[in-house]
Amino acid sequence: MTITTHAQHWLFDLDDTLHHAGAAVFPMINEYMTRYICHYVGVGRTEADRLRTDYWARYGATLAGLQRHHGIAPQHFLKQTHPMESLLPLIETGTQLPLWLKRLPGRKWVFSNGPQHYVEAIVRHLGIETQIEGCFGMDSFGFTPKPRVAAYTSVLRQAGIHAGNCIMVEDSAANLKTAKRLGMRTAWLSHQCRKPSWVDWRITSLFDLQRI
């Protein structure tokens, strides 16, 4: 039985799944976050870098730590650290992605820890907005990041879909672990040879989904 036989709904991560963010986009966002922490938390650059990475590792998102420990307003932080006029020119377009998504059976959704304005802008920039049923950025699920269960249940409820009818596609194995616990099928976009027990399929390219 093929992977597409199971899929009524696809939940796609955005960064480093639907587009490559690691080379240019993430470093720029990290720089904006470090500057923000310096200014609004009132620490030096070295400490700001440490807090940014520590909160991301501990809570799944830097914002979660800044909210918990420093009372940072989430909307202000996300707007200041994700300026689309600077980020969009770094994201490659003109790929096979729009046509490939059109040919992939099932309904498609984007589920990202990025802010809503960022997710929607990149989906438009990639030219895939007509293939996507809906976009879910962190604003839309209460600023509670993946891999926390509340983020997934909020998205499923808003989309009106059942976990058992979903395949989640992610570059983060940790995020897929929660998806599997909730009853989803899981596809891990990774070049690692070994896959965790909660991953149903390991792929090295999105286009592998139709060939499994």
Model confidence over 156-167: pLDDT tens digits?
999 999 999 999
Q: pLDDT by residue (tens digit) across 19-75?
A: 998 889 999 999 999 999 999 999 999 999 999 999 999 988 899 999 999 999 999
Q: Give ∠ CA 55-174-171 in degrees, rounded to 5.
A: 100
In this predicted structure, the answer to whether residue 199 has a pLDDT above a threshold of 50 is: yes
Radius of gyration of the chain (CA): 17
**How far is residue 177's CA from residue 189's CA, in Å, rounded to a whole number?**
14
- Neighbouring CB atoms inside 10 A of 155's CB total 20
Closest Cα partner for 103 from 189, 14, 167, 7? Answer: 7
Domains and CATH numbers, the chain: 3-19+91-210 (3.40.50.1000), 25-83 (1.10.150.450)
